[in-house]
Amino acid sequence: MHMSERHSFSESHAGDQDVGGRTARKHTLGFNVTAPRAETVINATLRLYTIITRDQYAYIGVERRVRVEMTLPRDEAEDMMTVKVCERDIYELHNAWETFDVTFAVRHWLAHPSCPQLLQIYIESVFSTVGSGGEMDVATMPLTDSEPLLLLYSSVRHRRQSRHELSVMISHENDIQEKIRSKRKKRSLEKLQKIRVRRNAAEIQEEESNMIWEGELLVPGLPQHAQNSLGDRGKGRRGRRRRAKNGCKTKPLRVDFKDIGWDDWIIAPVSYEANQCTGKCFYPLASHLSPTKHAVVQTLMNSVHPERSPRACCVPTRLGPIPLLYFENNQTPTYKSEYDDMVVLECGCR
């Protein structure tokens, strides 16, 4: 993990505003944040230098609430919405550096390069009897020792992060499955029977469309005499002149998170193209399906003794990520520019 530093610039408009009946001081800060694709932002911290002006006759400090906000486009709309990034109540006697967690904002900027990298800083009273004897502001002048700073902590993405994401997903899925089980108890037997009939009809139609593929099998790493044996065995098969219509391949699959009950923890996107692997792995296996040696052996066994061994399975062999905004631990908004293993890119026989 390493740290990088970003300096800000302050917009020209800054002043007092009325927020919920309270007078608030507002500043707008802008940044230019970039990060290599292979790196993941672990944490982003905004450092602000607070300027305290105390009543000379008072022995108490100044208390204010500092809130950091950003604007985001609404889903599938052009209007914008304001989102609170973080908020802190600060009590100080003297000027001091204060830190704010803005990880959510930075991750969003990196995933959406066209989004303005702006943060609104609000400084308002908390109506406390303590801390009313003075004023608080933050330094925004660029190229000074007290200018706002953005510290990024990042690391190269690794498998441990992917395992954590999977555990979060499984946790949500277990909750959803429990809800589904309770709903299924209310279903009528007639409706369940209709589902079974439709599935059986689909399986029969799939089986009728299966035809043996005529072609040459090339398996990397397999000895030549084994390759020849596969070719010779394929020549004696009946139906070799026909081409498979239902071979292993990638097909489109659009997933709507609301349909599967995940809309209660996934904020965006609402849906995405996940793709799927369909079809069967026929003998002989084609090289573009990147079969393993075990898949080749299992397919050979199926061709000789189908009752002892099923066909190799058509499964995803290469997966890709999607950007995802979701709630982690049911409360913390988390943004991942690359939420791994969500899109099927290639299918093969395993």
For the beta sheet containing 266-268, the strands, ordered from the edge strand earlier in sequence to the opposite edge, are 266-268, 314-328, 332-349
Task: Give the per-residue pLDDT at 333.
Answer: 80
Per-residue pLDDT of the chain (350 residues; tens, 9 = 90+): 455 555 555 454 456 665 555 568 899 999 888 876 656 788 889 999 999 988 777 678 888 999 999 988 766 556 778 889 999 999 888 899 999 999 999 988 888 888 889 999 999 987 655 556 688 999 988 888 888 999 888 765 555 555 666 566 656 655 655 665 666 555 555 565 665 565 555 555 444 444 333 344 444 445 555 555 555 544 444 444 444 457 899 999 999 998 888 888 888 899 999 999 999 888 777 777 778 888 888 888 888 888 888 888 899 988 888 988 888 766 778 777 788 889 999 998 88
Taking alpha carbons only, the member of 150, 65, 125, 54 closest to residue 95 is 54
Could you give the CA distance from residue 106 to residue 152 in angstroms, rounded to a whole number? 9
- Percentages helix, strand, coil for the chain (3-state, rounded to 5) are 25, 40, 35
Task: Give the per-residue pLDDT at 86.
Answer: 93
Task: Give the per-residue pLDDT at 192.
Answer: 56
Could you give the CA distance from residue 195 to residue 204 in angstroms, rounded to a whole number? 14
Predicted TM-score (pTM) of the model is 0.45
Task: Give the per-residue pLDDT at 238.
Answer: 44
pLDDT over 70 for what percent of the chain? 62
Q: Which helix (H) or strand (E) holds 172?
A: helix 159-184
The domains found in the chain, sorted by start residue, are: 2-156 (2.60.120), 210-349 (2.10.90.10)
CB 295, CB 220: distance < 8 Å: no
Looking at residue 276, its amino acid is Q
pLDDT over 90 for what percent of the chain? 20
Task: Give the per-residue pLDDT at 240.
Answer: 45
Task: Give the per-residue pLDDT at 96.
Answer: 92
